[in-house]
Amino acid sequence: MRKLKPFSLELIKIPYKSQLTRIPEFQCWKYLLFSILLYTSFSCREEGSEQGRQITAYTVDTVFIASKERLLDVSGYMKVSDLDDDERSFFLYNHHDHSIDEINLDTKDFVKTFPLEAEGPNGVGQYVFGLQCLKDNLLFLKSVPFSSVIDTSGHVIQKINWLTAKDSIGDPFGAVPPRSEVVVDTKDWRVMGTNLDFSNTTAFLGVLSVEKKLVKNIDVDTKLSFSNYFLKAGNNYRPPWVFLHAEEHYIYLSHLYSNEIFLFNPEGELVKVVDYEPKLTPARAKEPELLSGTREQVRHESRMLMEQVSFEAPVWDKVNRRYFRLSAQRIFGDESGSDETAATTKTRVFLSVLDPEFNLVSEVELEEVPGAGYKYFAKDGKLWVCQNFSDDLGFLLFDL
């Protein structure tokens, strides 16, 4: 197995003049950032070493989507979206009228919308918190207290209810569904979900067989990666956000304050835990000195964590066979702000590139991304980052 040697990065900027001029349907501007990214070298335990690939420059394009007078939801629900397997259609939930909008990313315009029903046989619930594109033109919608699989006409194909399931010894699953869910198999309707045990401050991965109504819980906090970040103010918990993402190779589980990635196969078996050493950010935030306190104390500890580092989930670039992963460091202003985002004065966003074995290849700061928390994915070998451009949907395209 190859092991990453330490490296350093120096960023060199070339002055540019923006060529961005808005027109109604589609615009793009491009400039180059030249960076000397590292000399990566991997050492083989038995055969010496070989040089890794260098990234010496990247380009940035800005793409605007022609909405055709459709009011796309680019506010708080932008992350409730996904790219289909063909990397052509981007599906975005619209909470304005409880519907799904389809965007063609090749033609860069709005295609169609289909309404959702909140109740009844085709009901998907009043709120949608997650969206996943499945094969055969199906979409999975995360809601509460149940979730649904629908076709691209809005008809419900399968409902998924964790609350009616039992574990291996016959105990009920619980009173609250998982915070995050992904469908991993549509043949026997197998679903995975993240379960946070607040009383014991730990995390589990639940594997649900919808047809058998059975849940298998897997402890994923054996090294206390999650529990040491459970903050509590009175009766209110503020646990680390846990990401769950499925693609053709693995199901990934990770959390906000550590770069650890837990890799599972579709049967729910742990394959390995990825843990690499970034150079531009810490590998994990230092554990809070205070886990329980007043609301103001917990807010302060939460800000201290996000000032160190917060990690997003990795995404697979199938063209170049690599993973993209964004992370961020926030700088906060007024300590009396009501929440973390409102008082943020600056956010630094970083991109990590990993090879298929999750070895760190390179890192760079993306100054073009104004803040963290945006949906991002790989398409055509590039990193696409969703953006809200004055209430218009657009993307920053990074070509490395």
Question: Tell me: the pLDDT tens digits for 162-192?
Answer: 999 998 889 998 888 999 999 998 888 999 9
Q: What is the pLDDT of residue 203?
A: 84
Is there a contact between 144 and 125 (Cβ–Cβ < 8 Å)? yes
DSSP run (H or E) holding 293 = strand 292-293
CA distance 263 to 248: 12
Q: What is the pLDDT of residue 59?
A: 93
Whether pLDDT at 137 is above 80: yes
Q: What is the pLDDT of residue 27?
A: 35
Q: What is the mean pLDDT of residues 36-46?
A: 31
Residue 33 — pLDDT band, cuts 50, 70, 90?
very low
Whether pLDDT at 274 is above 50: yes
pTM of the model: 0.82
Q: What is the pLDDT of residue 200?
A: 75
3-class state of residue 312 by DSSP: coil
Residue 286 — pLDDT band, cuts 50, 70, 90?
very high
**Is pLDDT larger for residue 12 or for residue 72?**
72
Whether pLDDT at 272 is above 50: yes
Q: What is the mean pLDDT of residues 268-289?
A: 92
Whether pLDDT at 339 is above 60: no
Residue 56 — pLDDT band, cuts 50, 70, 90?
low
Q: What is the mean pLDDT of residues 232-261?
A: 89
Residue found under tokens 């540019």: 16
Q: What is the mean pLDDT of residues 78-86?
A: 94
DSSP run (H or E) holding 347 = strand 344-354
Residue 213 — pLDDT band, cuts 50, 70, 90?
very high
Residue 142 — pLDDT band, cuts 50, 70, 90?
very high
**Is pLDDT larger for residue 224 or for residue 359?**
359
Residue 288 preceded by cis peptide, ω within 30: no
Interval 301-334: pLDDT, tens: 999 999 999 999 999 999 999 999 999 999 887 6
CA distance 190 to 210: 6
Separation of CA 44 from chain center: 32
Residue 16 — pLDDT band, cuts 50, 70, 90?
very low
Which residues have CB under 8 Å from 289's CB, separation 6+?
A: 301
Whether pLDDT at 94 is above 70: yes
CA distance 255 to 225: 9
The share of the chain scoring above pLDDT 90, in percent, equals 62
Q: What's the residue count for the chain?
A: 400
DSSP run (H or E) holding 295 = helix 295-308
